[in-house]
Amino acid sequence: MPLTSDLFAPPIAILSALPQEQRGLIGLLHKPRKLHHASREFWLGELHGQPVVLALSRIGKVAAATTTTALIERFGVRRIVFTGVAGGLGEGVKVGDVVVATDFVQHDLDASPLFPRYEVPLYGKTRFHCDAALSALLFEASSKALAHESLATHGFHDACVHQGLIASGDRFVSSAEESRSLHDLLAGAGHAVLAVEMEGAAVAQVCMDYGIPFAVMRTISDRADDSAHVDFPGFVEAVASRYAHLIIGNFLNLLSKK
Q: Give the list of residues 6+ apart from residue 71 with CB closer than 8 angstroms, or none.
A: 13, 15, 42, 53, 55, 77, 80
Q: pLDDT, tens digit, for every residue of 127-173? A: 999 999 999 999 999 999 988 755 555 566 788 999 999 999 999 88
Residue 99: is its pLDDT beyond 90? yes
**What's the DSSP call for residue 117?**
T
Q: State the Cα–Cα distance between residues 139 and 132, nearest whole angstrom.
A: 10
Whether pTM exceeds 0.95: no
Q: Are 53 and 13 in contact (CB under 8 A)?
A: yes
Our answer to whether residue 21 is catalytic in this structure is yes
- Number of Cβ within 10 Å of residue 126's Cβ equals 20
Our answer to whether residue 140 is catalytic in this structure is no
> What is the three-class DSSP state of 189?
coil
Q: pLDDT, tens digit, for every residue of 40-93? A: 999 999 999 999 999 999 999 999 999 999 999 999 999 999 999 999 999 899
Active-site annotation holder among 119, 197, 222, 225? 222
Pairing of strands 127-129, 98-106: antiparallel
**What's the DSSP call for residue 238?**
I
Nearest to 188 by CA among 137, 257, 84, 117: 117
Listed range (22-26, 69-73, 89-93, 96-100) with the worst mean pLDDT: 22-26
Indicate the CATH number for domain 12-253.
3.40.50.1580
Angle between helices 61-73 and 200-210 (to 10 degrees): 30
Active-site annotation holder among 21, 119, 131, 199? 21
Per domain, the residue ranges of the chain are: 12-253
Strand runs labelled E in the chain:
12-16, 30-37, 40-47, 50-56, 79-88, 98-106, 127-129, 161-168, 193-197, 214-222
Q: Which residues pair with 239 in a beta bridge?
A: none
**What's the DSSP call for residue 154?**
G
- Number of Cβ within 10 Å of residue 180's Cβ equals 13
